[in-house]
Structure 1
Amino acid sequence: MSRPSGASRSGRRDRRPAPRRPVLDGARLTAYDVLDAVTSRAAYANLLLPQLLGERDLEQRDAAFATQLTYGTLRARGTLDAVLTGLVDRPLADLDPRVLDLLRLGTYQLLDLRVPAHAAVATTVDLTRAIVGAGASGLVNAVLRRVAAGGDRARWLETLDGEGDDRLALATDHPRWIVQAWREALGDETPDGEAELEAALQADDAAPEVHLVARRVPRAELVEQSGGRPGPWSPYAVRLGGGDPGLVPAVRSGAAAVQDEGSQLAALLLARAPLDGPDAAWLDMCAGPGGKSGLLAAVRPPGVRLTAADRAPHRAELVRRSLRGEEDVEVLVADGRQPPWAPGSFDRVLLDAPCTGLGALRRRPEVRWRRTGDDVPPLAELQAALLERALASVRPGGLVAYVTCSPHTAETVAVVDAAAARDDVEVLPVAPLFPEVPDLSRGRYGQLWPHRHGTDAMFLALLRRTR
């Protein structure tokens, strides 16, 4: 008769220890969960990570490490993949996406954070065993040990092929097409264009400050509440060195909000421009999620009616929340290309056009790898159509502010130049409206940059319909 499993010849059960079940590192598991969500369902890290950190109640040090791991790994994906390509015996696209994200997570720790090899490898192997299985953990262990043997990022970059823009793309964690787009956008206006190009790309890799906008509260009071400091460009901006903006009383009440200082200047462009004739009706044409509408509502002169429109119902709802408590405002669910309002209905129109979002790469690091150059032409076509309708929506003499959170020439200068070629459109220079902001001019237009201004890379243009 056979013995029960685990019994010895004497009938006693073996007392061999059970296999070790690793306690997974909370910071690394959280970072992996965000990477997986970005890969598998196109999630946005800046929205998901705060949610997970709140749910998991990590200690402050672990939460900071999870944040560094998440954003750093997403940002460096191109360089990490270039290293891994030579160490895996199959195309990376053929790997289980979970395994590839785990390899990226471990490689980032070894190359950029200089986490001791034994810690980076062991914790990543433990995660792999728990998430994917024992078979995959052997592959991850072998590959990460080879990464560790190759040294830090600088040593690995020496081994990778690349010159010119290819080298710069690897060194600054950008796709080559974005490097080329930034080169064109910066132009030849600076004495050392190559050095500024690298500075602009590196600024995309730095963690941004949180900016607040004082809408219905004096800025001095918001500074006192938040412990921040006044922003240098917008009279409504406060910059925070740290902390949770959601704990600021004015933010909780809606009297203030989180808004990049560059976005504040985009709204102020429309409000500051001199206008001949009546000034009673303003339109925010692509208003979601409502930050610029909120500031326009706060700074408009008495008697001005503000209309805010967005074609997506859920974004229009966000605009309603942003404008809650404001009088003489209207929120519409409407496509600006087929508007419900009559031509010439407004005195001022803000068109914050849908774009690639390349100007906010420091806030959404995954966008640099999610977008491709093929995304630009259809967006430029949409932008041109919206700008045409925006110009039709203002009366003769009315103003249109065209802004995008992208410096890409095809989404900015090319779109506005085409509209300005009409004989009923006049371009107004942007820089004179912001004399306090240095290095703003991009020809007749304006361009903000993280490395120059500490803001997102917002493009600003101002047009007048002459007849």
Structure 2
Amino acid sequence: MSDERRRGRQRPPARDRSAQHRSAQRPSERARRTDPARLTAYTVMREVAQGAYANLALPKLLREKRIHGRDAGFATELVYGATRLSGLYDTLAARAADRPVDRIDPRVLDTIRLGAHQVLSMRVPTHAAVDETVALARQVNGAGAAGFVNAVMRRISERSLDEWLEVVTADVADPTEALAIRTSHPLWVVKALRAALIGHGRAVVDTAEAELAALLASDNAAAKVALAARPGLASVAELVEAGAEASTTSPVGAVLPEGDPGAIPAVREGRAAVQDEGSQLLALAIATAEMGESALTGERWLDLCAGPGGKAGLLASIAVQRRIPFVANEVNEHRAQLVQQTLAAASAAAREAGTTIEVRHGDGREIGELSPAAYTRVLIDAPCTGLGALRRRPEARWRRSPGDVATLATLQRELLASGIEATRSGGVIGYATCSPHLNETKFVVQDVIKKRDDVELEDARPLFRDAAGAPLPDLGDGPYVQLWPHVHGTDAMFLALLRKR
């Protein structure tokens, strides 16, 4: 077949497909099947409903279905956008259907969410969005459901997003509750983030509402694909040559404007990785913190909660360069295997350099007792609610509850105490979370150190440097560092730096 004929038979991009395109199909095929991008998005939505994570399930399915380019980008925006804004879209669906969402089949509701996102938040022509959503419903939900979806979608398409927002908040007296509805966040999350902005010194009462609105808006914006070049294994220049752009935020970072990061050799081989720039800065800060003289000989580093391995990957590669043994511990066996895989390239380099990288499967709360004063540099990247990474983890805001904070806070205190016990005199400990919640950050650290006389807080701010080597701005009053998506363009990473006396 000639190139001209092949191009002539290619389907238009998913977002541009409409009834006009399908008019060329046989009547028996019309409006019965949608395109692969929308079907893939629906499939991932159903996997997420069963407990999967969108950032893991979607790339896997895109590769299996061989969906690339604009269609892959379209499917990604559909999944992430429809999931982030599902709280708002459910409110609209209930009004359009004149019934509560718990009386709508969850599979049909996912179809409506995808359709609502196309109509209200994407540059898809309304007729195309409605027609393709009905076609998707016919394909995956059945002919009867397709009629219901058609009616709901036509009601939703009668108003713009701004008009709908006015309708659904018209009778809401509480400004915070109205903001939660408009930005599709659970109310408890909005309140917690407001408290965090004030508690970390980013805002005062008079500026809190504007800061909060900006933060919530950033949660709903698509996060850029950030890459980290692991020192000694890859370089930023190599990533740039492969199509990325050098980061201005992280000295080892790059940003991929489009395409599959797995197609880049350095990423595929584990010499580089997809990693938020804030996470990169945090790992670099731990690696560059000065230690006391008593910790400078016989160095040994520990990542206490290493899974899935992003920060461990950076720390391990730096440790190899310095010929320092590195241990990555993970309590979950499957995640420990992921750490083993992501450290494979660094492990090979360690063998050549005559040093060691070890991945352990065990409870981090026990390491302080089992290996007291055994390490000189310890990272505790504690399990948390993930409220600082809502833009990258679209389902997280709907899975967490206020009760999770209390449960995790107990674990976080135990892990920090264990990490301190595992650290040698003069060594440094980094306590980190990807949540700015005060009960997971400052309060945890303060509660632990007030009961001890062998550890002190250090100012972490001087350790955060951008790609040009300049101090990262807007880090607050210290000694903690709290990054923000709407300020730094990173996840809301928190770091407390402690030194063992």
Q: Does TM, normalized by the shorter one, top 0.5? A: yes
Question: 1:359 Cα deviation (Å)?
Answer: 1.5
Distance 1:344 1:59 in 2: 50
Matched letter for residue 32 of structure 1 = Y
Does the 8 Å contact 2:236/2:252 carry over to 1? Answer: no
Deviation at 1:96, TM superposition (A): 1.4
- SS of the equivalent of 2:157 reads helix
**1:338 aligned onto 2:370:** no
Partner of residue 431 from structure 1, selected from 449, 461, 465: 461
SS in 2 for 1:139: helix
Please provide the CA RMSD for this pair.
2.1
1:172 has 2:192 as partner? no
Farther off after superposition, 369-378 or 106-115? 106-115
2:225 to 210, 225, 247: 210
Larger gyration radius, structure 1 or structure 2: 1
For residues 281 and 57 of structure 1, the distance between their equivalents in structure 2, rounded to whole angstroms, comes to: 44
Structure-1 residue corresponding to 2:314: 295
Give a deviation string over 1:8-58, Cα, whole Å, max 9, x none. Answer: xxxxxxxxx86967232222211111111111x111111111222222234
2:475 to 436, 440, 450: 440
Q: Does structure 1 residue 196 correspond to structure 2 residue 211?
A: yes
| Deviations 1:177-205 (CA, angstroms, capped at 9, x unpaired) | 11111111111544733222211111111
Q: How does 1:451-462 map to 2 (within 5 A)?
A: 451-462=486-497
| Deviation sequence 1:92-118 (CA, Å, 0-9, x none) | 123211111112122222222264443
Of the structure 1 ranges 274-283 and 122-131, higher mean CA displacement relative to structure 2 is found in 122-131
- The residue correspondences of 1:16-27 to structure 2 (distance < 5 A) are 22-27=32-37
Displacement of 1:138: 2.3
Describe the SS at the equivalent of 2:273. strand
Gaps of 5+ in 1: 1-16
| Structure 1 position 254 matched with structure 2 position 270 | yes
Contact 1:401 1:460 in 2 (8 A): yes
SS of residue paired to 2:456: strand
1:33 pairs with 38, 43, 47, which one? 43
The CA deviation string for residues 143-174 of structure 1, in whole angstroms up to 9 with x for no partner, is 2222122x111001111133411221122222
Indicate if the aligned counterparts of 1:112 and 1:152 stay in contact, CA closer than 8 A: no
Query: Percent of pairs identical after alignment?
Result: 50
Structure 1 position 83, deviation (Å): 1.4
Give the 3 Å change call, closer, same or farther, for CA 368–141 of structure 1 in structure 2.
same
Match of 1:390 in 2: 419
The equivalent position to 1:156 in structure 2, one of 130, 155, 164, is 164
- For 1:19 and 1:239, the matched residues in 2 are separated by 42
Native 8 Å contact 1:419 1:425 kept in 2: no
Of 245, 263, 271, 2:279 maps to 263
Between the aligned partners of 2:144 and 2:229, the Cα distance in structure 1 is: 55
Aligned to 1:230: 246
For 2:132 and 2:202, the matched residues in 1 are separated by 48
The 3-state SS of whatever aligns with 1:123 is helix
Cα distance in 1 for partners of 2:64, 2:286 equals 41
Question: Which of the pair has the greater relative contact order for Cα pairs under 8 Å at 6+ separation?
Answer: 2
Match of 2:498 in 1: 463
Counterpart Cα distance in 2 of 1:365 and 1:164:
24
Instruction: String of CA shifts for 1:55-75, please: whole Å, max 9, x gaps.
Output: 223463332222221111111
CA distance in 2, matches of 1:152, 1:97: 24
Structure 2 residue ranges without an equivalent (≥5): 1-26, 351-355, 466-470
Cross-structure match for 1:60: 69
> Normalization by structure 2: what TM-score?
0.84
Aligned mates of 1:298, 1:451 — CA distance in 2: 30
Contact conserved, 2:340 with 2:359, CA < 8 A, in 1?
A: yes
Q: Distance in 1 between matches of 2:373 and 2:131?
A: 66
More displaced stretch, 166-175 vs 70-79 = 166-175
Tell me how far apart the structure 2 counterparts of residues 34 and 232 of structure 1 sit (CA, whole Å): 33
**1:102 is matched with which residue: 90, 101, 111?**
111
Structure 2 counterpart SS, 1:42 = coil
Change in CA separation of 1:255 and 1:105 when aligned onto 2, cut-off 3 Å: closer
Out of 81, 92, 98, the residue aligned to residue 72 of structure 1 is 81
Q: Is contact 1:230-1:237 (8 Å) kept?
A: yes
Aligned-pair CA distance for 1:278: 2.5
**In the alignment, does 2:390 pair up with 1:361?**
yes
Q: Which residue type is aligned with residue 69 of structure 1?
A: L
Q: Is the 8 A contact 1:219 1:238 kept in 2?
A: no
Q: Go from structure 1 to structure 2 and tell me whether the alpha carbon gap of 1:171 and 1:442 turns closer, same or farther (over 3 Å shift).
A: farther
> Does 2:160 correspond to 1:130?
no
8 A Cα contact 2:45 2:110, kept in partner: yes
Code of the residue aligned with 2:361 in structure 1: it is V
What secondary structure does 2:499 align onto? strand
What SS does the aligned partner of 1:330 have?
Answer: strand
d(CA) in 1 for partners of 2:263 and 2:95?
A: 47
Q: 1:21 to 1:146 in 2, by over 3 A?
A: closer
Tell me if the contact between 2:115 and 2:153 (Cα under 8 Å) persists in the aligned partners: yes
Residue identity opposite 2:162 in structure 1: A
Q: Distance in 1 between matches of 2:382 and 2:100?
A: 38
Q: Tell me the secondary structure at the aligned position of residue 394 of structure 2.
A: coil
1:278 aligns with 2:295: yes
Give the SS at the match of 1:337.
helix
Give the drift of 1:393.
0.9
- Once the two structures are TM-superposed, the CA of residue 459 in structure 1 deviates from its matched residue by 0.4
SS of corresponding position for 1:441 = coil
